[in-house]
Structure 1
Amino acid sequence: MIIEKNINVFLDTIETINNKLIDKASYDLMTGVFNRHTGIEKLELMIQKSKFKNEPLTGCFIDVDGLKFVNDNFSHNDGDELIKKIASILKSFSREEDLLFRLGGDEFFMAFLGVNHSDAENIFLRINIYLSEYNKTSEKPYDLRISYGINSYDHNKNIDEFIDSADTKMYKQKSEKKILQI
């Protein structure tokens, strides 16, 4: 009886440790969203689901604007807080079935199954409105801003081409913003 009880406690401990390892391997420790590796795996599954269900899949490459400025003029802790806050905001605008993951640094990717390009644009319009309102009341000496590029998945392309196309669109938007600031 005692051995059986000890074995059960031991098995419960192993299960708890295993679950913690899975979380550490799947999530970005700083932001709490999926990490790149897990995000790519889940995006591949969304692509398969999109093909099978013949539903649109829309992706968005997101870059945090002004991170270098914040790091250089305030602190890297402020830069980390900026990244965390943007991740939290993006998460708040996503549905349970949507995918959000951190590609690395200040770059994120969101994917929306069953959402067309126009509807994804509307989501990011609402995010930008939210950021604008947030910035008006924030006590931070800098604004929270993002650049993004939205791309509809083309079933003739691979996952890298899907992400790269959204990345290219994001850089185009970022460049246009810089031209407007000059």
Structure 2
Amino acid sequence: MNNKLVGKASYDIMTGIFNRHTGMEKLELITEKSKFENKSLTGCFIDVDGLKFVNGNFSHNDGDDLIKKIASVLKNFSRDEDLLFRLGGDEFFMAFLGIDHSDVEKIFLRITNYLEEYNKKSKKPYDLKISYGIIDYDSNKTVDEFIFSADEKMYRHKSGKKAFRN
């Protein structure tokens, strides 16, 4: 019973990945580990493109499926030692300990390519796309500032993108 309660308290019920509360706790630990072991830490703020469009033009079930699929893809492209959690809504955060910025860029290029191939084969009237912001951890900043900086970078990436097929 206790294990069941811990699971419900730690994981996002829709996606099965860590929820915001647990993710933030684990991110605090990873930032400390990064400092202590003198390892690089790279974070990435991820936002699902077009959720409002999908919810408004199709259904909230389609919107939920979109979020679940993106979470699944992110999980499939992460290592066991990486941290992935849902911040809320259509926003996720990933932290990569011991991987530098350019390697995280390569991971997200592979994710983007995967989504493009998925969209070509999909019969859905909308595409699965993400915007993301990758940032190196600065040990002089708080975890909240780390996430905020990645979020700002994600918004720069998102600007001007078109999320859906015509």
Q: TM-score range by the shorter chain?
A: over 0.9
**Counterpart Cα distance in 2 of 1:43 and 1:164:** 13
What secondary structure sits across from 1:59 in the alignment? strand
1:83: how far off?
A: 0.2
* CA deviation profile, 1:104-124 (whole Å, cap 9, x unmatched): 000000000001111110000
1:176: how far off?
A: 3.6
1:69 corresponds to 2:75: no
**Counterpart Cα distance in 2 of 1:139 and 1:76:** 18
**Counterpart Cα distance in 2 of 1:99 and 1:138:** 28
Equivalent residue letter for 1:114: G
Tell me which of 137, 148, 154 is aligned to 1:170.
Answer: 154
> TM-score, with normalisation over the residues of structure 1?
0.88
Q: Please, which runs of 5 or more residues in structure 1 have no aligned partner?
A: 1-16
**Counterpart Cα distance in 1 of 2:28 and 2:106:** 24
**Aligned pairs for 1:129-140 within 5 A:** 129-140=113-124
**Counterpart Cα distance in 2 of 1:152 and 1:177:** 24
> TM-score, with normalisation over the residues of structure 2?
0.96
2:37 equivalent in structure 1 = 53
Count of residues in Structure 1 that have an aligned counterpart in Structure 2: 162
**Counterpart Cα distance in 2 of 1:44 and 1:87:** 21
* Structure ranking higher in helix proportion: 1
**Aligned pairs for 1:14-53 within 5 A:** 17-53=1-37
Runs of 4+ deviating beyond 6 Å:
none
**Counterpart Cα distance in 1 of 2:60 and 2:102:** 36
**Counterpart Cα distance in 1 of 2:140 and 2:52:** 37
Tell me which of 143, 150, 159 is aligned to 2:134.
Answer: 150
1:146: how far off?
A: 0.2
Tell me which of 85, 88, 96 is aligned to 2:80.
Answer: 96
* CA deviation profile, 1:29-48 (whole Å, cap 9, x unmatched): 00000000000000001001
Equivalent residue letter for 1:156: N
Equivalent residue letter for 1:143: D
**Counterpart Cα distance in 1 of 2:148 and 2:135:** 9
* CA deviation profile, 1:127-167 (whole Å, cap 9, x unmatched): 00000000000111110000000000001111011000000
* CA deviation profile, 1:29-88 (whole Å, cap 9, x unmatched): 000000000000000010011001100000000000010110001000000000000000
Rg comparison, structure with higher value: 1
Identify the structure with bigger relative contact order (alpha carbons < 8 Å, sequence gap 6+).
2
